[in-house]
Each structure stands twice: as C-alpha cells, then as structure tokens.
Structure 1
Amino acid sequence: MEKVSVTRQNSDEFDKFLDGAASFADMMFGFMDESKDLNEKKSGDFVGGGDDEDDTQVEQRIIFWENQERLLQATLFRTTSLELKIRRATKEALSELNTVGVQCACRRPVAGQCRRCLQRELSVRLQTAGFNCYTCKSKWRSSPEIPSGEYTYLEVLDKSNPKRGNVTVVIELNFRAEFEMARANEDYNKLTALLPELFVGKTERLRALIKILCVAAKKCMKEKKMHLAPWRRHRYMQAKWLGTYESTTPAPLQLGYSDRPQKPKASMLTFDLRENLPAMHYTAVEVVR
C-alpha cells in the first residue's frame, strides 16, 4: 500500500482567477461577491426573510436565488469527455459492488455498507479499468474560523495528454448529503436537490460548486436569522477536498469476505494421540459404514 502526501494551493489562493476550465466559474464568483457585498451593506447582519421586508428586498432575494440556481446548473452541466468517461466507469463499478457486496474489513466492522471499504474496492476496480485512482485522506487543523477535521474521498489523476498536463478528477460518493442542512429554507433545498449523489468532476468544477453553495448557505442562514455552523463555512468545505491530503493506492479486498487471515482451527479428528500422548492407552475402533 503506497502513501503519498500532497499539498494543494493554500486556501488564500482559492479565490483567484483560474485559467482554462475555471474561467467560467470565476465570472460567476465575481457576480456573487458583488451581490453579497451590496446586500450586506444594505441590510446589516441579516438580509431579508423578516416581516418588515419591503418590495425591493423581496425582489433582490428572488433574483439572488434565481441566479444561484442558474449558476449551479451551468457549472454542473459543463462536463468534459474525461469526466463523463470516469463517471461511467464509476457507476458500473458501483453497480457491480452493490450486487456482490463488500464485507467490512476494518478493525471495528460496521453493519451495512462501510464507506472506507467501499472506497477502497472502488479505487481498485477503477485502477483495473485503466484509471490512476487512489484514496485521499485530507486533514486540517482548527482555526478561529473552523474546527479541525479529516475526510476521505477518491481522486483520479489523468496524465494521458502531455500538452494539457496532469488533470485531477475528484470522486465523491455522498456529494449531495455534504451540503444538505436540516433547517434550510425552501430556496436552498431547491439548490441541493439539483446536486448529484455521485459527483465526478475536476477540481476546478468542484471549487466553483463549493463557492456557489457556501454563498447560498450563508444567505439562507441570514434569511432565517440563524448563525452559519462552522462546518458549513467556505473554508471548511474547501479543506475537505481542496486542501492538504495523503493519497493511498490500496490492495483489493475480497468481495463478500474479510481480508483478515483466519486463525487455524484445531480438530480432534486430526489430533495424533500416539505422538502427543505416548503414555495414554487406547483401543482401536473399527468404523462400519
């Protein structure tokens, strides 16, 4: 099992303009930041959602959520051939694994489907299909803004085009659930409903989606006059998939069985009494069939 530590761009560089595939997302970011600043200056700590909301605030709120939905849909649907190829292979592998099942091989086995073991076996199957796939474990320290934490996901590193350079594609098995909030308003829930449960996309696309959804989450909590939880903040969500991580190329598990070696079992049928107990008297018994 090979482990490699990798450090991405630091979080202060995430909001810079990107080239190539990220240019569309950058255009969206600028629009959202300007809208957010204007709303915060006009409304103070909380924006909209109250009984004293005037027609202008209502119109601004409607425009904001409509724009967020358009931006989210545009970012989700602008996929590349590489992403489609990896997504297709991932879905096929997951379908096979759901059929045969993967027995949890952790030190403390869990009932049902084990995320860690599923990721491991999925990574092996994608490697067999010709993709350079590995398991990533990100870990970050606490700060005044966010608590510490760690997270695991899959990545595929594509090196097929020397001119284009290395392309990183993230695979997240529970993407929609990572952004859902229990007390969200209807507008935010409408956004998260558009998200796929299985996300397969380049880091540029993921960075754009994180920012769109975190801006929306902040707006949602302001409308409900509630504080945004630290683990819902932009910097925390970035740390999950876009921070420093350790990559691992795992060995395959046995489908339906644990990969831990079984202990040898002794049997009285193979116990040699003459060799181990020489002083013991015994009588031969004839077996009649």
Structure 2
Amino acid sequence: MEKMAVSVTRQNSEEIDKFLDGAASFADMMFGILDGSNESEENSGDLVYRDENADDQEAVEQNKIFWEAQRQLLQATLRRTTCLESRIRQATKQALSEIDQCCCRVGGCRNCLQRELSVRLQNAGFNCYICKSKWRSSPEIPSGEHTYLEVLDKSSNPIKGEVRVVMELNFRAEFEMARANDDYNTLIARLPELLVGKTERVNALIKILCAAAKKCMKEKKMHLAPWRKQKYMEAKWLGTYQRTTAAPLPVEHLEARPQKPKASMLTFDLLDRLPGLHYTPVELVW
C-alpha cells in the first residue's frame, strides 16, 4: 500500500473539502473490509488446507498495513487546516489561558467553561454558540446527549453559505478506551485535546477512529461497545441539536464567595466578645 504523502502547505477550502471526502471514503473502505474480510472463507464449503504459520504471518502483516494507513490518514486529516479554523483555534487557546477557574457555585465546570468561552469568542468577533445534541435509542446504539461549541462563519465563501466549525474541548478523551491495544493507544495519542474543525473534518476523523476501535476490539476478541460505534459518535457532533447563545453571567455569580472572618487568639479581645466575663488585670513582675 502506497503511503499517503502529507503536504504541510495550506490548500484552499475546495481542495481541502475534496481531500476530506477522499479521507472519509478511504475510511469507509477500511471499515467495510473489517466487516466482510472473512465472508468468502466462511461461505466456502470446500476444505482448504493452509499453513497456520503462514496465515499468522499474513495476519500480522495485514495488521501492520492497517495501523500504518490509519496513522498516515489521521495525520493528514489533522494537518490540513483552513485559515478560519486556525483563527478560531488561536482565539480559543488564548481565551482558555485567561479562564483560571469555574465561576459557578455548584460544580458543573464544563458548562461554565463552555459558557465563558462562548462569550469570549463572541467578544472576539466570532458567531459562537452552545449546541446540545440529543438522540433516541435504536437497535444499534443507546440514547444519549452531548454539549459542545460551534462557530458559524458566513464570510469565508458566500456562494456555499455559512460554514459550521465544531469545537470539542475533550476530543481525545471521547475516544480513549481502557482495554485498547498499543496500536490504538498510539493512534489516539496523536489526537488534540482541543478539536476545532469543520463538519467535513470531524466526519472524516470519526470514521478513521471508529474503524480503528473496531479493529482493536477484533484483535482482542472483544465486543465493541455500542457507545463506541460510528453512528453514536456521529450523533454527538453531526446529529440533531439545539443551538443557544451564551450570555454573560450576572455580576453576583462572578464575585468570589464571601470568606468568613478569621480571628487569632493573639488578637481576640475576650472583654469585648464576652461582656459578662470580668477579670482584674494582673501586673506581670519580671
């Protein structure tokens, strides 16, 4: 299999879209191979005598080819970025560096972070919104919901209309698996924690990573959890969602909690605090 050459130079949006479509098609092909690779041998009724060692060696080589292809494809998909994505990513990192703590009083730090980040990006000139996706259960995947950020841009290409850029603050953690093999963990380690990408890029990444997850579980002879499947991941960022505009929190929520006054026994005036307590001062003689 020829290795994909990764170009570091920035392409225009149309070339990038074509590349992402090709990446998604390649990921679909790899995903389909995993589903039907042994179909012909299982349906064959003839007895075929093969060398077990040769079969094992062939399987090892096929695994190497698969994981190397996934790494090359993932690296190329992540590196090819647009000017819009770069500007949003830079503004997001700057805003995250300025947000030092949660501003709510009852936990929910992710919600507070998304709200504060959305407000700061709006102040920076981006149409940033908070999105909440929600989907029903089906025979293939369970129901669920997810919140993330998005930026809508209408100035990049007026002909195509608005461009939707998805922002996920914990993208790498969404694909981590406790019982994954080394090849899968190496692939996941290449993912950024902060994902800023157009929907085409997110779609291509989901297909690559879900194909890798299925291959990983197949090698370990384990069942792939339904919340790891491609349709479940697509429902998180590419499914039906509700969009809301984040408003700045009221001033009273941003103020720090009032601290209780602290007193030291060295400065605590017992006569003032306890008026019923009367003692005659005693003169100390050294």
TM-score by length of 2: 0.74
1:178 correspondence with 2:174: yes
Counterpart amino acid of residue 214 in structure 2? K
Match of 2:104 in 1: 104
| Corresponding residue for residue 13 of structure 1 | none
Match of 1:32? 30
Tell me, in whole angstroms, the C-alpha distance in 2 between the residues paired with 1:71 and 1:156. 25
Q: 1:199 to 1:121 in 2, by over 3 A?
A: same
Q: Give matches, 1:1-289, under 5 Å.
A: 20=18, 22-33=20-31, 35-37=33-35, 39-41=37-39, 54-98=56-100, 101-104=101-104, 109-110=106-107, 114-160=109-155, 161-253=157-249, 258=253
Larger Rg: 2
For CA contacts below 8 A with separation 6 or more, give which structure has more relative contact order.
Answer: 1
Aligned partner letter, 2:213: A
Deviations 1:22-63 (A, max 9, x none): 33323423542453245343687xxxxx99961111111111
Gaps of 5+ in 1: 1-17, 45-49, 263-289
Q: How many positions carry a matched residue from both structures?
A: 231
For structure 2, the residue ranges without an aligned partner over 5 or more in a row are 1-15, 43-51, 258-286
TM-score by length of 1: 0.74
Gap change, CA 1:138 and 1:52, over 3 Å in 2: farther
Residues 176-210 of structure 1: per-residue CA shift (max 9 Å, x gap):
00000000000000000000000000010000000
* SS of match in other structure, 1:23: helix
CA displacement, residues 164-186 of structure 1 (integer Å, 9 cap, x when unaligned) = 32110001000000000000000
Q: Give the deviation of 1:162 after TM superposition.
A: 1.1
The one-letter code sitting in structure 2 at the alignment partner of 1:103 is C
Q: 1:141, CA displacement in angstroms?
A: 0.3
Partner AA of 1:244 in structure 2 = T
Cα distance in structure 1, aligned partners of 2:54 and 2:212? 22
Shift of 1:163: 2.2
Deviation at 1:250, TM superposition (A): 1.4
Instruction: Output the CA distance in 2 between the equivalents of 1:187 and 1:41.
Output: 25
Structure 1: distance between partners of 2:77 and 2:250:
38
Superposed displacement of residue 217, structure 1: 0.2
AA at the equivalent of 2:104: C
Deviation at 1:148, TM superposition (A): 0.5
